[in-house]
């Protein structure tokens, strides 16, 4: 149920760890790969990012 809500077209903000530092990213989910545990986002400038699900700390 939670993963399905992530794939809706709204903007979300994700706090995640990368190399021991907390990063924040705001964007729209365009792909959710459950096999490889990767969430792919596109930000407002149309730049794409891939985040491991295990590194996500908080989703707003």
Q: Which CATH number applies to 2-59: 3.20.20.150, 3.40.50.1980, 2.30.30.520, 3.90.420.10? A: 2.30.30.520
pTM for this predicted structure: 0.81
pLDDT of residue 7: 67
pLDDT of residue 1: 46
E strands present in 1-60: 12-18, 21-33, 38-42, 48-52, 56-59
pLDDT of residue 54: 93
The ranges assigned to domains in the chain are: 2-59
pLDDT of residue 25: 94
* pLDDT per residue of the chain (60 residues) written in tens, 0 to 9: 466 667 677 889 999 999 999 999 999 998 989 899 999 999 999 999 999 999 999 988
pLDDT of residue 59: 87
Report yes or no: 11 and 17 within 8 Å, Cβ to Cβ: no
């Amino acid at each position: 149920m939670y993963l399905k809500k992530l794939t809706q077209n709204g903007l979300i903000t994700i706090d995640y760890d990368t190399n021991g530092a907390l990063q924040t990213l705001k964007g729209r989910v365009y792909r959710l790969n459950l096999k490889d545990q990767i969430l792919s986002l596109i930000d407002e400038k149309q730049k794409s990012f891939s985040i491991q699900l295990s590194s996500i700390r908080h989703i707003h």
